[in-house]
Amino acid sequence: MKIGFLQFKPLFGEVNKNISKIQKLTRNIKADLLVMPELSNSGYIFTSKKEAFELAEPVPTGAFTRAIIEIARKKKMYIVCGIAEREGKNVYNSAFLAGPKGFIDTYKKAHLFYNEKLWFKKSNTPFKVHTIKGVKIGMMICFDWFFPESMRVLSLKGAQVICHCANLVMPYCQKAMVTRCLENRVFAVTANRTGQETRGKKSLHFTGMSQITGINGEILSTAGASEETIKIVTINPRDALNKNINPKNNIFKERRVEFYRDLA
């Protein structure tokens, strides 16, 4: 299975330009599964709830979503893409999954980071897995990585590849994903954005260095800090079904859930 990430700098509020960038970057690629950054349609730093609402779009009928679905159709690949989603009166920080036959599902971010709490509604949907080409995948968004339960529950539900849309501003995630993948024996694709975004007095630097991580915590591919690029690697997703780290230790079967009750 060929899995990869698209790393780019979304331009704030410039939906059509963001679509064009993605179309250009994906023109000559061949992949089974491509993951794109968080909020790829809109950019990150909103200045009001109204602005977030206006820049968000309904999924899957919005213009940005339809353009990404068209790429998935044309390229006969699956795409997980981060998006500012409008649903009724609410705005969500979401990711959607689309494939050769069109739209499949949406995941709404569970753990909102810092000022995201001002613009977005917290999700009320559980972590879910989807089967594509016989392989189970799960979606999560950026700060979800900070909560090990996100990847754990997806992995316990059978996810072999974690699709991780990100707008990272802290320096820890790429290193943490090594442990997250190792402790769950899953693959992960962290698709981060790049660049500085300044809106009024607020300015953030996004760290790039998107990463594909293997089941033993090995870094299979990484991008530079500021480049707009796509990287694709070939994996055997069946490797993620084997939770034995040696003939005597199976990290899922040996969980002592009777000692973990306080977690819930």
Question: What distances in angstroms separate CA 83 from CA 35, 50, 94, 148, one per listed residue?
Answer: 12, 16, 5, 23
Q: Least CB distance from residue 238 to ligand ACM, whole Å?
A: 31
Interface with ligand ACM includes 85 (CB under 6 A)? no
The C-alpha angle with vertex 59 and arms to 211 and 192, in degrees rounded to 5, equals 15
Q: Least CB distance from residue 113 to ligand ACM, whole Å?
A: 3
Question: What is the size of the binding site for ligand ACM (CB under 6 A)?
Answer: 7
Question: What distances in angstroms separate CA 212 from CA 205, 231, 232, 247, one per listed residue?
Answer: 21, 9, 9, 27
Active site includes 142?
A: yes
Interface with ligand ACM includes 113 (CB under 6 A)? yes
Q: Least CB distance from residue 73 to ligand ACM, whole Å?
A: 29
Interface with ligand ACM includes 167 (CB under 6 A)? yes
d(CA 264, CA 260): 8
Beta partners for 219? 213
Q: Which is nearer to ligand ACM, 123 or 167 (CB)?
A: 167
Build a one-symbol-per-residue string for 31-50: x at contacts with ligand ACM by CB under 6 A, - elsewhere: -------x------------
Q: Which is nearer to ligand ACM, 147 or 252 (CB)?
A: 147
Active site includes 157?
A: no
Q: Least CB distance from residue 99 to ligand ACM, whole Å?
A: 25
Question: What distances in angstroms separate CA 102 from CA 99, 167, 192, 224, one per listed residue?
Answer: 5, 25, 24, 31
Smallest CA-to-CA distance from 237 within 249, 254, 220 is with 220
Instruction: Give the torsion sign (CA, 57, 63, 66, 72).
Output: negative
Q: Least CB distance from residue 239 to ligand ACM, whole Å?
A: 28
Question: What distances in angstroms separate CA 239 from CA 71, 120, 158, 186, 254, one per listed residue?
Answer: 29, 36, 12, 8, 19
Active site includes 128?
A: no
Q: Which stretch binds ligand ACM (CB under 6 A): 19-27, 76-84, 163-171, 231-239?
A: 163-171
Distance spanning both ends of the chain, measured CA to CA: 35
Among 132, 142, 230, 232, which residue sits at the site for ligand ACM (rule: CB under 6 A)?
Answer: 142
Instruction: Write out the catalytic residue numbers.
Output: 38, 109, 142
Residues that bind ligand ACM (CB under 6 A): 38, 113, 142-143, 167-169
